[in-house]
Amino acid sequence: MDTHAFKRSLHHSDRYNRRGFGRADEVAGSLEQAYQSSLIGSIRDNDYRLSHGRLKVRLAEAFGFCWGVERAVAMAYETRKHYPHERIWITNEIIHNPSVNDHLREMNVEFIAVDQGVKDFSGVDCGDVVILPAFGATVQEMQLLNERGCHIVDTTCPWVSKVWNTVEKHKKHTCTSIIHGKVKHEETLATSSFAGTYLVVLDLKEAQMVADYILGNGDREAFIAKFANACSQGFDPDRDLERLGVANQTTMLKSETEEIGRLFERTMLRKYGPADLNDHFLAFNTICDATQERQDAMFSLVDEPLDLMVVIGGYNSSNTTHLQEIAISRGIRSFHIDTPERIGADNSIEHKPLDQEEELRREDNFLPSGPVTVGITSGASTPDRVVEHVIQRLIALSES
């Protein structure tokens, strides 16, 4: 399939919209009421600090909704305004935040059902409206919806689209796309659908395995077994690792993506020499500005004296998880929660331990006695209103 040609054709269809409906003023009030916070605004104006009795709160200087998320949510609200009576679907969560997705359900936006990892589009009919979420949809899903005669509202973040364009360039130059991402994450699934030959690596450790193989220090059968579910069909490491380009899931840890890029550049330089490097390695910057800003702000925040850290965002939010990684790497007592209700009035907290599939862990005596400084950040899918409610619960605990 010529994915570039299909995308170009889709963009010219009168049943496709990626610019909104000019109804921003009509939905502005609803968005402000649901997601914005005067308290957070005042904390921003006070150098991102709040003091209340024994409690001090220190906010990261970049957190919460990014531009791409704001755009996607606003477009979803505009879609309901523009199609007040039509049946509206969304192919996945609009963003990885439970409160935002619940608001859409209250607006009678239906979510495509998923059974054992497979989406069921059987209920979607010709003429239905289908929203593509901020992290995109696979080209196969777009093709299905287009052929079914649906009205497609595409809220894909432009930074994600930039990555798609990058893997298209890899394909044009017959390069294998090394995608730094989580193989089952919706964005990585979408990106790989636009790629030609690809291999997904989760982290620097997996990238090093690939680099070692390129330099002749790996076992073919072990390699194929390791990456069996993380590569394009028919992937042959002896054939497909001769020409590489690097791309990434936009929410991955910036520093790791950069190091993976440098690793493969050094590897190809070592194998093919400087004269032929450009024939074997393509480099494009696909790191999202918003992700980078939030990670940089987190690194600055954890340099300050903190008694504990609260990271707010969906448990399936990759960018939120990486913020938590930064806190944990500094040895800070840190908790990842998805909603304010995880903090109990009895000074307990239910949180998601890092890199564990287990159920939520409950911890008592969450807020220590005496003066306490709490660092707070939130993922790019978390509204300010949610952060406000977390702070209010911290204030109530500090007073009890």
Per-residue 3-state assignment (H helix, E strand, C coil) for 240-302? HCCCEEEEECCCCCHHHHHHHHHHHHHHHHHHHCHHHHHHHEECCCCCCHHHHHHHHHHHHHC
Eight-state DSSP code of residue 343: B
What are 38's two structure tokens?
């005067």
Q: What is the pLDDT of residue 195?
A: 96
Eight-state DSSP code of residue 51: E
What are 353's two structure tokens?
């331990």
Residue 116: other Cβ atoms inside 10 A: 4
| Residues of the chain predicted below pLDDT 50 | none
Q: What is the pLDDT of residue 304?
A: 94
pLDDT in tens, 296-325: 999 999 999 999 999 999 998 888 999 999
Rounded to the nearest integer, the mean pLDDT of the chain is 94
Q: What is the pLDDT of residue 191?
A: 96
Q: What is the pLDDT of residue 96?
A: 82
Tell how strand 334-337 and strand 281-282 pair up: unpaired
Q: What is the pLDDT of residue 89?
A: 97
Question: Of 185, 206, 188, which Cα lies nearest the Cα of 264?
Answer: 206
Active-site positions?
Answer: 187
